A and B are shown apart, each in its own frame.
Chain A
């Protein structure tokens, strides 16, 4: 009725031909076409018609009518009318414009505003009232609201219960990725039907084979380190990968012997080698205190042996210096409260102090600062570093990756960065399944450690935008991909779990894996799973100063290829003095050789703050006194005034915070267009130098830029109207906060830890 009502019957016969555009559209309006687009393996669980999706803040005139569908993968809202004011959105290949993957649903709240009741739904629950409204709180900070005023009360209730149930899968194998990937094998015998062959054609090393590690050893010049295979079949440690790297002097036999002393048998893992030969190693605590000293000494001595200068090993206890996973989770919840739940205007006055009290930014700083300390040890003190964490699966992931990002320009390229995450997160066994809380079983294990890492990366990116091959859109989309449960990257706690689950699933579904050992989930790095090639160009940073740098001198451009000689890619240029003699750190090697006169002059001046500068502070200060080499060491500015809110990630859904036709994206647009033009010119020049064939616009196909140069490149184009500070995301219909304000629910929401805990069932009449 809602839809037929829109078609007015003509009251007179018109002899004019109808406008062409209209005549094509109108026959398609009826409801019959409202069907969910399903992926292979996806099934519809429940649906309700005549559902209204709330769009506007105050009025409902922009609201959309359509069908709400719950599948085993997503909550889908299907409508004919497209959103007002939203002419652009990045189209997602797995998700429609209004779809939310179930894994992204944090909380399902049903409301009956007539009876003044609300209930948070978990799995297998009952609902004793007919909902008039469904609010979905999403892990990516969206708040989506549906109204059932015109829908059948029973079907509304059923779809809500279905969403609640299916967003709480009881078993990992119920995560959609299994069905989705399983379907690949259903076609013909063992042939893959779905998507792209993972790994094939992918330039990102997954570090699931010894050759990737070999290459990494060679790349970093870690000649005294070797790939070890003792954990093949996961016989030694359940959470370590099958292949990892250890000191050459540590024999497999020793490793097997030591394994039992370590927490979860996690023997030390090599992460990376600095060009000075210092190694970055991570390891878990030694569980047996009696053996601790002995084992530690033995490990340290093998690491020392692998250092060209035989230098000492510095141990950094991360648990002592950094917030724990619960702290991080609490911080994100508070941040979310501040960013999207608190009423916008009222929270303006206290915005800064609310940000501070969330402690999120403080933690970002703490992690960055700690990483800088480690960089100082590796770079300036030239000692190897062991990152020590009880389980070695959370904080060390962040620190080891940040250290490499700061020191190693390779990690700032797209594939280098993705390889880094494979190496330090996926293979090292970061518990993505638990930290994402995909099964919503154990809230205590949930923690946005990876998001915190992405924020740290964003801070570096924000301070050195030309040093990274990727954009902040890339970082944001990468964070969002955690909630699309089909990627090997974010589905499991460790490689072994992935292997086991996929074997089990295959056998229970009688899938013939062919020559595969396990189901081949696509890694998130296979971006064409989610985005078209065109949309993927949003990841390419036009500012990136890659290996080829151009130099402009007196109006002439010279192009240099970065050919850094092995072993000096970050430090030698700065000519830091070696502070090591025969492997021991001299006591007066603090780098601070102050003029004696000056020392004498530092006296009892009360107001001058005594600057007891530590060597690492001096290291940082000296770094900032020199021009930055974007292909060398990068240290972040750590003053709190220089740590910013990652607005694209945290504020993209907030309509009040959107700057229409403004924000950093407008400079990105101009850079993109110019870079595209340069690419085009390069192609033309190349063609001249080549056979002299007619220069043609070949470039459009492989242009790396999202925004293209126009045919008249001399005129600088105005930014497209759809650009906004939220681009390529849109707040329209994605943050229906104002609607719940002023209702009892909002007060209810302002209580406890933001997201209601499932136990608090306010007003529920049982």
Chain B
């Protein structure tokens, strides 16, 4: 009963974007704009403009551009039409129409966004109005291409909690039960000398020496050696991750690498180490031509190699592009299902999920695994983090999920900057790819199949994706820790988790039921995989916009009702002074979400 239409958070993707104190301040600065500016946000320009809404027709209004966002408000009708788009979302700005164009609205700007929508504006041909606004947009949407700073470095937002403290690698290793007699923590990479795209703190087999690590690094693409991602407390099996071995055309071998993998196997007495190569077999073979490859049978005798058939970043990018074509601006009506099938988006989701299921299943049966793809920062991150989500209920909590992202994605160098292209004008960059979005989609699929197993709700996932692009927070900026360090991201920007954790009630799934030892195996079947319509089709005004899923909302109402009754009952009992023997007297805080002032009105008007 949960799959009701859960619609998004209005045309502003970020919902309650600014902190209250921030808005007061900025409103003084800009009385004209009716949006609350963030501390550090500055007005750049505003202009009369026509927004060509793909759903309704043209809307006359005014656009405001700040160093953070594009804001549009209509002036021509009492029904408000607003757009609130962080500039970071913009992937491309184009001029449409020329001096010779006929027709009123054929002269203007076309903006392609990273979050499944496009925006079109029409301008008057007179003056240089278009040139001005184009140049401003181009400059502020792509600050890095213009020698300017990303907004995250200009923001003055303050939050009570410092989100940068959410993830402390040592604490997380300790939580997993490390170090122990099988695995040790090494600081060999503390100055990023071993591997510049890895974090500073790594967990490696106890028996592997620092010298071993250095030698293994020579045989792994970009020195990304196999290191521990997750440790199974009961059976001591581990998930390790790395990049492909540098086998090359000649089929090179490396004794140190072979011995190192055997150390991983030995650590808990796994008879055969399973190596999951995320790629399709042919891709792995093709990689030999560029010096890469995969672990051959004869070289790694105590290991079995499994290919998981997940395609590369280019395939995923094209797939999402096709998906956008059938959902924006209009949902393909006549052949929806076959069109959806031909995007292959859900099929890719299925392959990623089923790969992760195999990893999780292997580990929970007691065998250690190694996961890699080519470089070990895209598909590998998807697989390890999803498998960890299945195996370890901690990662299904609001905090734990943040730790998981910090650790497996941000820490281990998923190239966010390259994949998203923050502040970069080169929209056609072949490095861009929606790998992280695909991962979040997989998580969403899991939450759909297990609606009580996650402490966070869909809204958190949408907020994460919105700020993946927005450049308001430092969390997803840059490709790896070393670059983040050299840019002092932690010191100069705010973490997304500061924002999220300042009001967690918005992101709590009221149905959450903690079950510590349960391994979640979603059914990776097309029968159950659904298109995440509340994300991909959220800009369509024909879809109801709701803050919350109606089921979630109703449950919160019922929780509030329950508490109300408990309170009343307690009062009655007190006034009765004749205490009866009910267990209901201790009406402390209930589970998960105590609904409070957030529920102001309910679905039923009277």
Whether B603 and A608, one on each chain, are in contact in the complex, defined by CB atoms closer than 8 angstroms, is no
Most A-side CB within 10 Å, residue of B528, B530, B590, B601: B528
Whether B4 and A462, one on each chain, are in contact in the complex, defined by CB atoms closer than 8 angstroms, is yes
Residue of A nearest to B510 (CB): A670
B515 within 8 A of A: yes
Whether B525 and A712, one on each chain, are in contact in the complex, defined by CB atoms closer than 8 angstroms, is no
Whether B56 and A627, one on each chain, are in contact in the complex, defined by CB atoms closer than 8 angstroms, is no
Partner of A681, one of B331, B347, B555, B566: B566
B5 within 8 A of A: yes
A762 within 8 A of B: no
8 A Cβ contacts from B535-594 to A: 537, 540-544, 550-551, 554-555, 557-562, 564-566, 568-569, 572, 576, 580, 582-584, 586-588, 590-592
Whether B604 and A631, one on each chain, are in contact in the complex, defined by CB atoms closer than 8 angstroms, is yes
Q: Interface extent on A, as a size class?
A: 35 or more
Q: Mark B321-339, 1 if CB is under 8 A from A, else 0.
A: 0000001011111011110
Whether A353 and B337, one on each chain, are in contact in the complex, defined by CB atoms closer than 8 angstroms, is yes
Q: How far is the CA of A663 from the CA of B453 in the complex (A)?
A: 11
B29 within 8 A of A: no
Most B-side CB within 10 Å, residue of A356, A607, A625, A681: A681
B1 within 8 A of A: yes
Q: How far is the CA of A620 from the CA of B452 in the complex (A)?
A: 33
A605 within 8 A of B: yes
A594 within 8 A of B: yes
Whether B4 and A463, one on each chain, are in contact in the complex, defined by CB atoms closer than 8 angstroms, is yes
A478 within 8 A of B: no
B386 within 8 A of A: no
Residue of A nearest to B452 (CB): A666
Say whether, besides A603-B103, A656-B525, A551 and B76 are in contact (CB < 8 Å). Answer: no
8 A Cβ contacts from B1-32 to A: 1-5
Whether B76 and A595, one on each chain, are in contact in the complex, defined by CB atoms closer than 8 angstroms, is yes
Q: Which residues of A contact B531 (CB under 8 A)?
A: 641
Whether A624 and B576, one on each chain, are in contact in the complex, defined by CB atoms closer than 8 angstroms, is no
Partner of A637, one of B526, B527, B543, B600: B543
Q: Mark A317-360, 1 if CB is under 8 A from B, else 0.
A: 00000000000000000000000000010001111110111000
Whether B523 and A642, one on each chain, are in contact in the complex, defined by CB atoms closer than 8 angstroms, is no
Whether A621 and B541, one on each chain, are in contact in the complex, defined by CB atoms closer than 8 angstroms, is yes
Q: How far is the CA of A597 from the CA of B56 in the complex (A)?
A: 13
Say whether, besides A621-B541, A667-B2, A695 and B329 are in contact (CB < 8 Å). Answer: no
B34 to chain A, nearest CB (A): 20
Whether B569 and A355, one on each chain, are in contact in the complex, defined by CB atoms closer than 8 angstroms, is no
Say whether, besides A629-B604, A631-B604, A663 and B102 are in contact (CB < 8 Å). Answer: no
Residue of A nearest to B110 (CB): A607
A550 within 8 A of B: yes
Q: How far is the CA of A684 from the CA of B105 in the complex (A)?
A: 67
Whether B568 and A352, one on each chain, are in contact in the complex, defined by CB atoms closer than 8 angstroms, is no
Say whether, besides A639-B331, A640-B337, A713 and B542 are in contact (CB < 8 Å). Answer: no
Residue of B nearest to A623 (CB): B544
Say whether, besides A351-B527, A545-B554, A715-B591, A552 and B337 are in contact (CB < 8 Å). Answer: no
Q: Which residues of A contact B122 (CB under 8 A)?
A: 601
Binds A, one of B47-55, B145-153, B180-188, B280-288: B47-55
Whether A348 and B331, one on each chain, are in contact in the complex, defined by CB atoms closer than 8 angstroms, is no
Residue of B nearest to A541 (CB): B1
Whether B56 and A657, one on each chain, are in contact in the complex, defined by CB atoms closer than 8 angstroms, is no
Whether B543 and A681, one on each chain, are in contact in the complex, defined by CB atoms closer than 8 angstroms, is no
A489 within 8 A of B: no
8 A Cβ contacts from B503-530 to A: 511, 513, 515, 518, 520-523, 525-528, 530
A664 within 8 A of B: yes
Q: How far is the CA of A60 from the CA of B120 in the complex (A)?
A: 63
Whether A472 and B591, one on each chain, are in contact in the complex, defined by CB atoms closer than 8 angstroms, is no
Whether B5 and A463, one on each chain, are in contact in the complex, defined by CB atoms closer than 8 angstroms, is yes
Q: Which residues of B contact A681 (CB under 8 A)?
A: 562, 565-566, 569, 584
B77 within 8 A of A: yes
B595 within 8 A of A: yes
Q: How far is the CA of A599 from the CA of B511 in the complex (A)?
A: 48
8 A Cβ contacts from B450-486 to A: 450-453
Binds A, one of B57-65, B191-199, B213-221: B57-65
Whether A685 and B5, one on each chain, are in contact in the complex, defined by CB atoms closer than 8 angstroms, is no
A464 within 8 A of B: yes
Q: How far is the CA of A748 from the CA of B119 in the complex (A)?
A: 54
Binds B, one of A164-172, A524-532, A672-680: A672-680
B533 within 8 A of A: yes
Most A-side CB within 10 Å, residue of B57, B522, B530: B57
B104 within 8 A of A: yes
Q: Which residues of A contact B561 (CB under 8 A)?
A: 550, 552, 557, 678
Whether A625 and B329, one on each chain, are in contact in the complex, defined by CB atoms closer than 8 angstroms, is no
A644 within 8 A of B: yes
Q: How far is the CA of A611 from the CA of B122 in the complex (A)?
A: 18
Whether A604 and B102, one on each chain, are in contact in the complex, defined by CB atoms closer than 8 angstroms, is yes
A582 to chain B, nearest CB (A): 30
Q: Which residues of A contact B330 (CB under 8 A)?
A: 609
Whether A472 and B1, one on each chain, are in contact in the complex, defined by CB atoms closer than 8 angstroms, is yes
A538 to chain B, nearest CB (A): 12
Whether B568 and A560, one on each chain, are in contact in the complex, defined by CB atoms closer than 8 angstroms, is no
Whether B602 and A551, one on each chain, are in contact in the complex, defined by CB atoms closer than 8 angstroms, is yes
Whether B77 and A666, one on each chain, are in contact in the complex, defined by CB atoms closer than 8 angstroms, is no
Q: Which residues of B contact A608 (CB under 8 A)?
A: 52, 54, 57, 120
B597 within 8 A of A: yes
Residue of B nearest to A677 (CB): B562
B351 to chain A, nearest CB (A): 11
Partner of B2, one of A471, A554, A664, A718: A664
Say whether, besides A351-B527, A597-B76, A604 and B103 are in contact (CB < 8 Å). Answer: yes
8 A Cβ contacts from A600-622 to B: 600-605, 607-609, 611, 620-621
Q: Which residues of B contact A352 (CB under 8 A)?
A: 337-338, 340-341, 346, 526
Partner of A355, one of B327, B337, B513, B530: B337
A510 within 8 A of B: no
Q: How far is the CA of A710 from the CA of B339 in the complex (A)?
A: 48
Q: Which residues of A contact B588 (CB under 8 A)?
A: 714
A556 within 8 A of B: yes
Partner of B606, one of A462, A562, A662: A562
Whether A682 and B4, one on each chain, are in contact in the complex, defined by CB atoms closer than 8 angstroms, is no
Q: Which residues of A contact B336 (CB under 8 A)?
A: 356, 640-641
Q: How far is the CA of A684 from the CA of B583 in the complex (A)?
A: 12
8 A Cβ contacts from B334-392 to A: 335-338, 340-341, 346-347, 350
Whether B600 and A553, one on each chain, are in contact in the complex, defined by CB atoms closer than 8 angstroms, is yes
Residue of A nearest to B553 (CB): A466
Whether A684 and B2, one on each chain, are in contact in the complex, defined by CB atoms closer than 8 angstroms, is no
Q: How far is the CA of A464 from the CA of B522 in the complex (A)?
A: 25
Q: Which residues of B contact A600 (CB under 8 A)?
A: 104
Say whether, besides A352-B526, A466-B550, A624-B544, A714 and B586 are in contact (CB < 8 Å). Answer: yes
B200 within 8 A of A: no
Whether A670 and B511, one on each chain, are in contact in the complex, defined by CB atoms closer than 8 angstroms, is yes
Whether B600 and A644, one on each chain, are in contact in the complex, defined by CB atoms closer than 8 angstroms, is no
Whether A657 and B525, one on each chain, are in contact in the complex, defined by CB atoms closer than 8 angstroms, is yes
Say whether, besides A600-B104, A644-B530, A639 and B543 are in contact (CB < 8 Å). Answer: yes
B23 to chain A, nearest CB (A): 22
Q: Which residues of A contact B555 (CB under 8 A)?
A: 667, 670-671, 674
A668 within 8 A of B: yes
Say whether, besides A573-B605, A651-B527, A678-B561, A466 and B554 are in contact (CB < 8 Å). Answer: yes
29 A-B pairs within 8 Å (CB atoms) are namely A348-B526, A352-B526, A353-B338, A463-B5, A466-B603, A543-B554, A549-B602, A550-B561, A550-B602, A551-B602, A562-B604, A598-B76, A603-B103, A604-B103, A608-B57, A611-B55, A620-B542, A624-B544, A640-B332, A641-B531, A662-B451, A662-B453, A663-B449, A666-B452, A667-B511, A671-B558, A684-B584, A685-B568, A695-B580
Ranked nearest first, the 8 interchain pairs of A and B with the lowest CB-CB distance are: A640-B336, A601-B58, A356-B337, A351-B526, A681-B565, A557-B564, A352-B341, A353-B338
Seed contacts A555-B597, A624-B544; 10 additional CB < 8 Å A-B pairs: A352-B526, A353-B337, A549-B604, A605-B103, A608-B52, A627-B603, A647-B527, A662-B522, A715-B591, A716-B513
